[in-house]
Amino acid sequence: SLLGRAGYSFADKYTVEFNFRYDGSSKFAAANRWGFFPSGSLGWSLSEESFLKTYKEKVGDLKIRGSYGLLGNQDIDSYQYLTSYTPYPNSYGFNNVGVSGAGFTFGNSNLQWEVTHTLNIGVDATFFNKALMVSFDYFNKNTKDILITPEIPSVFGTTLSKTNAGEMTNQGWEVNLGYTLKTGQFYHSFNANVGDSRNKVLKFVGDEQITTADNISKITRVGLPFNSYYGYKINGLFQSMEEIEHHIEKIEGYP
């Protein structure tokens, strides 16, 4: 990895910062091994401006900030870009003797970094001589080339490695509140936060995929949240034997 950071602040009013990572991972083939992930942020302390001098003296601080950056993900098993073979002893019989066999997993030489593009816009403010702190953040994340193990028919005879198969967006907001109360020589801090976020699959190879693990099925489908629960909808629970009999009569067409 190669890392870098540069920052500048002017008159405690304006701040600028730039960061970058240039990362290489042996989990990808040589052609896709390196990724460049920059980020930048801007901040403006409005309460330091002369036209808000009265506001700062009577109310508190006020700051607007924003950032945008890229983040890479390579959280996969090693060597998935290579086709691998696994020997199994006594896989089948030949001439009345147990003979070894081999299974294999197809490699994907086109594997590359999963990249998340993140936009964040926020406001920080203080009140009551900085006793109350309030911050608000809005974020929008767009993740491309999501690394997913594809589902294939069992008749294929083997499994596939991860593949860059999707794109999704995740956006939401968060509010943080903090209050500091001084009683004598002691300070008491109270904090609370609330937020909400929604995600949606924008692109997916094959449009959808259903996976089942521990009797729980999930679906990845364009237009739905990523890995949504998948199954039957329940109308309710029978409360008595009479309700069951009435339902049977209804579905069988009895009057």
Query: Regarding predicted confidence, which is higher, 115 or 156?
Result: 115
Mean per-residue pLDDT over the chain, rounded: 91
Tens-digit pLDDT profile for residues 176-188: 999 999 888 899 9
pLDDT band for 122, please (50, 70, 90 cuts).
very high
Query: Regarding predicted confidence, which is higher, 121 or 94?
Result: 121
Q: Is the pLDDT of residue 254 over 60?
A: no
Q: Which value, to the nearest 10 degrees, does the dihedral of the CA atoms of residues 133, 138, 143, 147 take?
A: 40
Instruction: Compute the average pLDDT of residues 196-200.
Output: 95
Q: Is the pLDDT of residue 14 over 90?
A: yes
Rounded Cα distance between 204 and 230, Å, is 17
Q: What is the pTM of this model?
A: 0.80
The label of the residue with tokens 């193990």 reads 149
For every residue of 10-41, which 3-state class applies, written as one string? ECCCEEEEEEEEEEECCCCCHHHCEEEEEEEE
Which of 145, 140, 134 shows the shortest CA–CA distance to 171?
A: 140
pLDDT band for 101, please (50, 70, 90 cuts).
confident
* SS3 call for 205: coil
Tens-digit pLDDT profile for residues 126-171: 999 889 999 999 999 999 999 988 877 777 777 778 899 889 999 9
Rounded Cα distance between 156 and 150, Å, is 12
Tens-digit pLDDT profile for residues 209-226: 888 888 899 999 999 998
pLDDT of residue 42: 97
Rounded Cα distance between 152 and 209, Å, is 10
Dihedral sign for Cα 155, 159, 164, 166, please. positive
List the structure tokens of 174.
Answer: 């968060």
pLDDT of residue 253: 66
% of the chain exceeding 90 in pLDDT: 61
Instruction: Compute the average pLDDT of residues 73-85.
Output: 90
Q: Which residues contact 252 (CB under 8 A, 6 or more apart)?
A: none
Q: Is the pLDDT of residue 190 over 80?
A: yes
* SS3 call for 180: strand
Rounded Cα distance between 101 and 1, Å, is 41
pLDDT band for 32, please (50, 70, 90 cuts).
very high
